[in-house]
Amino acid sequence: MSFYIVSFLVLVVALSGVASSLNARIVNETNAANGEYPYMVSLRTAGNVHLCGGSILNHYWVLSAAMCLVSISTANVNVVVGTNSLRFGGVIYQVELVVIHPSYNSVTLIYDAGLIKTTTYIRYGLVVEPICLAHVLPDNGTVGALTGWGFTLTSTSENNLKVLKTKVMDQTVCKNKMSVLGYNLQFMQFCTFNEYAVGCVGDNGGPIVVDNKQFGILSWLTCIIDIPDIYTNVPIVRVSAEIEKRIINGTTVYNDDYPYMVSLRSTANYHFCGGSIVSRFWVLTSAVCVNLIPDFIVVVGTNSLSFGGVIYKVDYFLQHPLFNSTTLSYNAALIKTTNRIQFSRQVLPVFLARVLPFVGTVGVLTGWGPTSLPPLSVPDQLEALRTTVIEQSVCADAFTDRGYTLQSMQFCTFSNKSGGCYTDAGGPIVAGYRQFGILSIATCGSGYPDVYTRVPYIRQWIMKYI
């Protein structure tokens, strides 16, 4: 034991001795190892010139600084992921949409944040992964990892991704320091300082991360060692960043928005249907869903198909006694979990509507069904669709050419070019936190309405059990 401590001390002394005798450039800022920062993105011109850094938030969205995005058009910027090199490797994605933070000001650099949506699904892999956004700024003194390809004063080759370990500064200390330079630090900004290295041109938009959470977007930098780097505070802008995402079709949603949502999966973790928590032991879904896979599990409390959540095993399930698999009448089932479902902010039951929805009622349908077709694109994050209840006769007419007869215990919604799709089935449609339908026939936005089982018609049956 004492031997270990002694040798540790010797090692520390030896290292600091070496460090101080070396040129500062290699002390704090080093080449990143391949795949060490899989969320890192290089924003490049169509001619492959690196402009700014960014970070992968999910399969379609990249976070960067607004200053990087204001003067570009979607046609002349690409997102490159999966490589540490500016010269080779990686996968290039084209950009469909650029969203600048609505409060961004190019003079003061307040709210310097922006989002980029790629035209196609970003594939994850060994060297490509999303990063989570921090909910709180770490304490001052915390060392974060800033990554970038900037022309740092201390680096010799700008072609390889660099990582700079730098410390969060006390807000007041930084504000005072910056005011001397004539810059007024704002509350949605914070600073880091490293006496040996700084961010420099090309690092803008890059993420600073600690404990696998991004807490800043590099915004204002001078390339001068004595001056702190300034970042946009991610916990402050994350809310508005998420609102921007939600307004786009195929909208990704965030953790505790739909706490009643359930993913039904095979024991090999393959998602095949949606469902909703209706009480501590019961999940509501469609009768078709419970017959699809012989042995399945219930996953609650996560918006992601690939991580998080709590798994419950199925004790048994009950199909509605009047269910008819030909007509899809009473397409409803209750699943009983073996263990009591633990409620939390991310896990809560939904109320069941007592009254039928009016024509024109807008409900939110949630699910992990495909988001495009073809080519088939399956989201990792839960999607939400606002869709409108239509007239029963209009819906019935829409299906007559398909030889399907709409039933009285069904209703329909329609939204142009959007709709539930395949594995959205069994999922809830909710208005005012009351579930009024179970998705029964998902038409994938093909021009047909989506068909649901009316919850008020089966409420009595549900209440007998839950």
Ligand X SMILES: *[C@@H]1O[C@H](CO)[C@@H](O)[C@H](O)[C@H]1NC(C)=O
Site residues, ligand X (CB under 6 A): 19, 27-28, 139-141, 143, 165-167, 170, 173, 194, 196, 249, 324, 326-327, 416-417
Nearer to ligand X among residue 2 and residue 393 (C-beta): 393
Q: Which is nearer to ligand X, 197 or 264 (CB)?
A: 197
Count other Cβ atoms within 10 Å, centred on residue 276.
Answer: 26
**Hey, CA dihedral for 161, 167, 173, 177, is it positive or negative?**
negative
Q: Smallest distance from the beta carbon of 214 to ligand X, in angstroms?
A: 18
CB of 299 to ligand X, least distance (A): 29
CB of 114 to ligand X, least distance (A): 19
The pairs formed by 152-155 with CB atoms below 8 angstroms and a separation of 24 or more are: 152/29, 152/197, 152/198, 152/199, 152/200, 152/203, 152/223, 153/25, 153/197, 153/198, 153/200, 153/223, 153/225, 154/24, 154/25, 154/26, 154/28, 154/29, 154/196, 154/197, 155/25, 155/29
* Minimum distance from residue 449 beta carbon to ligand X (Å): 11
Cα separation, 255 vs 252, whole angstroms: 10
Can you tell me whether residue 289 is helix, strand or coil? helix
To ligand X, the closest distance from the beta carbon of 119 in angstroms equals 11
Retrieve residue 181's tokens.
């330079």
- Smaller CB distance to ligand X: residue 320 or 454? 320
The single residue listed with the structure tokens 């993913």 is 263
Please state, in angstroms and rounded to a whole number, the distance separating the CA atoms of residues 134 and 114.
16
CB closer to ligand X out of 155 and 302? 155
Residue closer to ligand X (CB basis): 139 or 295: 139
Nearer to ligand X, 24 or 223 (CB): 24
CA distance 224 to 229: 9
Distance, CA of 116 to CA of 17 (rounded, Å): 45
Q: How far apart are CA 326 and CA 290, in angstroms?
A: 16
Query: What residue type is assigned to position 412 of the chain?
Result: C
Q: How far is the CB of 388 from ligand X (least distance, A)?
A: 10
**β-pairing, 213-220 with 132-133?**
parallel
Nearer to ligand X by Cβ, of 165 and 454: the residue is 165
Of 67 and 168, the one with the shorter C-beta distance to ligand X is 168
Report in angstroms how near the CB of residue 19 gets to ligand X at its nearest. 4
Minimum distance from residue 279 beta carbon to ligand X (Å): 29
